[in-house]
Amino acid sequence: MAIFVIKVTTNKEDRALEMISEKVRKKNLQVFSLTRAHGLRGYMLLEAIDRDTAEEAAFNLPYVKGIIGKTLVYDEIKNMLTPNIEEMKIDKGDIVEIIGEPFKKEKAKVTRVDKTKGEVVVSLLNAVVPIPVTVKIDNVRVLRREEDAGSENKTEEKEKNSSSTEQQSLSTDENFQEDIDEFGARL
């Protein structure tokens, strides 16, 4: 058994996959798996008993350009086949940008998070009337967290405190200069 890389027309991977799998079923070929790896555009992976079987499965089909000469082993493609799940940290009150259609590039505030369904309910910031919109979690990008807004206020308070401290140190410096002038006058 070997894994072959099949070159297909970009953005036609799904259609090519359907045609190859249909041909494999009709001709009863010894193809064990056929997959379109996530993030691998223009290519598909086919696991077959030998090269002749792989060529017969992909030969003379629309959108299929050919088989790449090198065969692969599972260890080389394992990272492409196993899903890489990242825990999205989105909380109520976060400001997000929608990266999926139809509200692409719109900014919104999260009003509810449903992690079991993988959805968030947001309210668009630029809308005249606030309408709740349900969006998949992977279609939003966090711009600002609610606690970040609180930390911005704390930063402003620190700046005010530091400026008053600077005022105190300036007045202390002036007093120090007056003390030096008095001391110099005594000598």
Q: Candidates 3.10.129.10, 3.30.70.940, 3.40.50.2300, 3.40.50.720; correct CATH number of 2-81?
A: 3.30.70.940
| Cβ-proximal residues to 181 (8 Å cutoff; 6+ apart), any chain | none
Q: What residue segments make up the domains of the chain, in order of their start?
A: 2-81, 95-144
Residue range 95-144 forms a domain whose CATH class is mainly beta
* pLDDT given at position 153: 47
Residue 155 scores a pLDDT above 60? no
Calculate what percentage of the chain has a pLDDT beyond 90: 24
Across residues 25-52, what is the average pLDDT?
88
Residue 177 scores a pLDDT above 70? no
Amino acid at 132: P
Across residues 161-184, what is the average pLDDT?
53
Q: pLDDT-based confidence at 61, cuts 50/70/90?
A: very high
Contact 34, 43 (CB under 8 A): no
Calculate what percentage of the chain has a pLDDT beyond 70: 72
pTM score above 0.75: no
* pLDDT given at position 108: 83
Across residues 35-53, what is the average pLDDT?
86
Distance CA 145, CA 130 (A): 20
Q: For the segment 93-132, what is each residue's pLDDT rounded down to a tens digit?
A: 888 888 877 777 788 888 888 877 778 888 888 777 878 8
* pLDDT given at position 28: 93
List C-alpha distances in Å: 139 to 99, 103, 152, 158: 5, 10, 27, 36
List C-alpha distances in Å: 33 to 12, 25, 97, 167: 19, 12, 38, 74
Q: pLDDT-based confidence at 165, cuts 50/70/90?
A: very low
| Cβ-proximal residues to 146 (8 Å cutoff; 6+ apart), any chain | 91, 92, 93, 94
